[in-house]
Structure 1
Amino acid sequence: MNRSILDKEVQDYIKANRQLDPGAMAFKKSPFAEVSSSELATQIDGWQRAYKKLPTWAYSPNIYYPDKINLEQCSSEHTALVKQSLIRKGCKIVDVTGGFSVDSCYLAQEAQIVVHCELNEKLSQIVKHNAQQLGVANLVPLHTDGVKFVQDQEDNSIDYIYIDPSRRVNHAKVFLLEDCEPNIVALQDMFFQKSRYILCKLSPLMDINSALQKLKHVKLLYVISLEGDCKELLFLQDRTFEGETKITAIRLSADQLQNISFTQQEEKTTLVKTSTPLKYLYDPDVALTKAGAFKSVAKAFSLFKLHTHTHLYTSDTLESDFLGRIFQIENVYTLGEFKKLNTLGKANVATKNFPIKVDEVRKKFKIKDGGSDFLYFVTDYADNHIVIHCSKIL
């Protein structure tokens, strides 16, 4: 950590130039003897990323930004707030895998103390400095191995262990839970000796059913999307819990949080009726599809499905709180009718439970991408291939 970056004249320079291209900045000569052009570029790039992802950091003075990869891997403020809502006030937390400390800082707002363990000494120093700037006095950054730190604690001395296992091992992506580092599957018994709760953040690429089989005592599972992009899976394990996991799909946007909760047994036993396309069409958010809430969402909003395996929904009355995109249906065509009657040379095309992909559809029907019209090529309840022309409402 180069503390010269925190000098007033350097900070003023970064603030005056923070809208510039960091790549171009890296090739300019630095006006400061103690701070290189690449270090200035890192700070500018960090601010630009924080502006979108971490506005509290971006608009706090004298924040020190780490390498790009640490900012790419950290949580956003929106998803950190969800984690904050899961813990008891006044608890003791150990963040085993540290990082840039976004989650730790938000957990600290509810906790009595959060111990932030980080193997990277420079990053640990950055976290300590930023916590002071942000006024997070009960965050304790330690340059240490988080697993060993937990292992050295007395039994039942921690309330929550928070862990975000790395999905990159030796520079290669891994997709099995037990291949991540640290190996939460192998460690969970030891963690439960030290703590009642384990809060585990996993990649949205992880298979949910596989994770539920390998993780013990999972009381709650949260599938979180932000602005239409599935960001993370959160597993809350409670060593006293013996029951079926409650799954909650959460859709976050800049000014809204929507959610649906269900169990896999409820999803399995829910009966949903199919229908021809009615007045409105509903395309579920990625959090719903990842969570597997295909029938639960239909039940929650009293919707019909277009087909058992076509995960689109329809109704005659507008359900404006639906978790996903909502359209008004303009026309419905068979493929033959669409080929004869279509006058749209430009539209947004999607396929659902349809035998050919979007690119092939565009080529076959000579449709360019874009515009305000939407075309859904789908299979309906009678196994017919149809085209739904609609316009977006929400």
Structure 2
Amino acid sequence: MNKHILDKEVQEYIQANRMLDPFTIAFQKSPFEHVSSSELAAQIDGWQRACKKLPTWAYSPNIYYPDRINLEQCSSEHTALVKQSLIRKGSKVVDITGGFSVDSCYMAQEAEIVVHCELNESLSQIVKHNAEQLGVRNLVPLFIDGVKFVEAQEDDSLDYIYIDPSRRVNNTRVFLLEDCEPNIVALQDMFLRKARYVISKISPLMDINLALLKLKHVKLLYVISLDGDCKELLFLQDRYHEGETRITAIRLFSDQLQKVTFTQEAEKTTLIKTSHPLQYLYDPDVAVTKAGAFKSVAKEFNLFKLHTHTHLYTSDSVVSDFPGRIFKIENLYSLSEFKKLSPFAKANVATKNFPMKVEDIRKRFKIKDGGEDYLFFATDYADNLIVIHGKKLS
């Protein structure tokens, strides 16, 4: 951490030039003796990234931005609010994998104290400085191995342990839970002796069913998407929980939160009704499909499914709080009708339970990408191949 970056004249320069291309700044001569042009560019790049992801940081004075990789890996403020909702007032929390402290800062708004453990000394110093600037007085940054810190605590002395295990080990991306660092599968018994609750943020690429087999006492699972991109899986283990996991698919978009809550047993036993396409078509968000709430979302919002294996839904009246995209159906074609007409030169194309890939459909029917028309190539309740033309509702 170069403390000269916080000098008044340097901060004024960064603010005056923060809309410029960081690469332009990096190749100019720095006007400051103790701050290089690459460091200035890094701060400007950090601010630009924070504008959408971390607006509280971006519009607070004297914030110090870390290396790009730390900003890329940190949570957004929107997803951090979900973690905050899990923390009980006045509790003791240890974040053993630290990072840029976005989750820690939000959890600190509910907790009595949050200990932020970080192995990168410079990053730990940055976190300490930023916490002071943001007025987060109960965040305690420590330059320490988080696992060793927790091991040294007395049993049952903590309320929550928070972990964001690294999916990159020795510069290689790993996909199994036990291959991440730290290995939360091997360490979970120790963690649950030290704290009643363990919250683990896991990559959305991980297999949910496999993770539930390997993690004990999982009370809650959140599958979180932001603006159509599945961001993370959040597992909450409760030392005393036995039985099923309650799964919640959360869609965050345009400062709104939509959700579906269910259990895997309820999903298996739920009976749904199928129908031909009615007036409105519903395409579920990626959080819903990743969570596996295919029947539960139909029951929750009183919708018909097009086919048991076609994850599209329909209704005669619009259900505006559905967690996904909603379309007004304009036309319905059998595949043979569509082949004869080929009525669209340009459209957004998607397939659901259909034997052709999108790129093959575009090539076959000479459909360019884009525009206001949406075409869903799907299988209906009677196993017919159909094409649904819709317009997206705002």
Report TM bin, short chain.
over 0.9
Instruction: Give identity over the alignment, percent.
Output: 79
- Once residues 55 and 144 of structure 1 are traced to their aligned partners in structure 2, the CA distance between those partners, rounded to angstroms, is 28
Shift of 1:255: 2.0
3-state SS of paired residue (1:377): strand
Match of 2:167 in 1: 167
Q: Within 5 A, what are the aligned runs for 1:253-264?
A: 253-264=253-264
Match of 2:192 in 1: 192
Shift of 1:253: 1.4
- Once residues 257 and 388 of structure 1 are traced to their aligned partners in structure 2, the CA distance between those partners, rounded to angstroms, is 28
Q: Within 5 A, what are the aligned runs for 1:120-139?
A: 120-139=120-139
Match of 1:369 in 2: 369
Match of 1:267 in 2: 267
Shift of 1:343: 2.5
- Once residues 320 and 283 of structure 1 are traced to their aligned partners in structure 2, the CA distance between those partners, rounded to angstroms, is 12
3-state SS of paired residue (2:371): strand
- Once residues 285 and 105 of structure 1 are traced to their aligned partners in structure 2, the CA distance between those partners, rounded to angstroms, is 28
Match of 1:284 in 2: 284
- Once residues 172 and 81 of structure 1 are traced to their aligned partners in structure 2, the CA distance between those partners, rounded to angstroms, is 30
Task: In structure 1, give the amino acid aligned to 2:3.
Answer: R
Task: In structure 2, give the amino acid aligned to 1:19.
Answer: M
3-state SS of paired residue (2:123): helix
3-state SS of paired residue (1:85): helix
Shift of 1:344: 1.5
Q: 1:380 and 2:380 equivalent?
A: yes
Q: Within 5 A, what are the aligned runs for 1:1-394?
A: 1-394=1-394
3-state SS of paired residue (1:369): coil
Shift of 1:21: 1.0
- Once residues 321 and 275 of structure 1 are traced to their aligned partners in structure 2, the CA distance between those partners, rounded to angstroms, is 21
- Once residues 103 and 223 of structure 1 are traced to their aligned partners in structure 2, the CA distance between those partners, rounded to angstroms, is 16
Task: In structure 1, give the amino acid aligned to 2:299.
Answer: K
Task: Give the aligned CA root-mean-square deviation in angstroms.
Answer: 0.7
- Once residues 355 and 178 of structure 2 are traced to their aligned partners in structure 1, the CA distance between those partners, rounded to angstroms, is 36
Please list the CA deviations of residues 98-137 of structure 1 after superposition, one character each: whole Å capped at 9, or x if unmatched. Answer: 0000000000000000000000000000000000000000
Task: In structure 1, give the amino acid aligned to 2:307.
Answer: H
- In structure 1, the gaps of 5 or more residues are none
- Once residues 365 and 268 of structure 2 are traced to their aligned partners in structure 1, the CA distance between those partners, rounded to angstroms, is 38
3-state SS of paired residue (1:249): strand
Task: In structure 2, give the amino acid aligned to 1:225.
Answer: S
- Once residues 21 and 356 of structure 2 are traced to their aligned partners in structure 1, the CA distance between those partners, rounded to angstroms, is 41
Please list the CA deviations of residues 37-78 of structure 1 after superposition, one character each: whole Å capped at 9, or x if unmatched. Answer: 110011001000100100000000000000000000000000
3-state SS of paired residue (1:383): coil
- Once residues 257 and 392 of structure 1 are traced to their aligned partners in structure 2, the CA distance between those partners, rounded to angstroms, is 19
Shift of 1:342: 3.1
Shift of 1:211: 0.5
Shift of 1:216: 0.5
- Once residues 267 and 310 of structure 2 are traced to their aligned partners in structure 1, the CA distance between those partners, rounded to angstroms, is 16
With normalisation by structure 1, the TM-score equals 0.99
